[in-house]
Amino acid sequence: MNKEDELKEKEWEVRMLQEEVAASQGIRIRRRPPTGPPVHYVGPFEFRIQSEGNTPRNILEEIVWNKDVEVSQVSNNHFILLFLDLLFFC
User: Could you read off the pLDDT of 15-44 as tens digits, one per residue?
Assistant: 888 778 877 877 776 766 555 666 777 888
Separation between Cα atoms, residue 12 and residue 20, nearest integer Å: 12
| Bridge partners for 40 per DSSP | 47
pTM above 0.85, yes or no: no
Other C-beta atoms lying within 10 Å of the C-beta of residue 80: 10
Q: What is the pLDDT of residue 84?
A: 78
DSSP state of 25: T
Separation between Cα atoms, residue 32 and residue 68, nearest integer Å: 8
| Bridge partners for 47 per DSSP | 40
Q: What is the pLDDT of residue 37?
A: 62
Q: What is the pLDDT of residue 40?
A: 75
Does 14 or 50 have the greater pLDDT score? Answer: 14
| Residue 18, CB-side half-sphere exposure with 13 Å CA sphere | 7
Query: Which residue segment(s) compose the domain that 14 sits in?
Result: 3-89
